[in-house]
Amino acid sequence: MNYQEAIKQPGIVLIEFYATWCPHCQHMEPIMEELEKELAGKVKIFRYDIDQHKECAEKAGVETIPTFFVYKNGVETFHHSGELTAEQLLSQV
């Protein structure tokens, strides 16, 4: 699903922009995998590799990675660039 479709999903949507070569993104990988399991059925999670989705990253205004967005019923409620703990992400969803 593309970024514009993802952010319009009903309910809560967590989006991560990352790159496979980014050390900070690599550090977030197990945290995101844990959250995908923990939040399955509750929060829609979309992850976009900026190398494969360059246009989406540009439209979203992503300048550094990892970058996270939370949308609730299509409205942005959280935006953060840099690493976060699982607890910090959970507190936003």
Kindly list the catalytic residues: 22, 25
Q: Is 85 helix (H, G, I), strand (E, B) or coil?
A: coil
Q: DSSP letters along 10-45, please?
A: SSEEEEEEE-TT-HHHHHHHHHHHHHHHHTTTTEEE
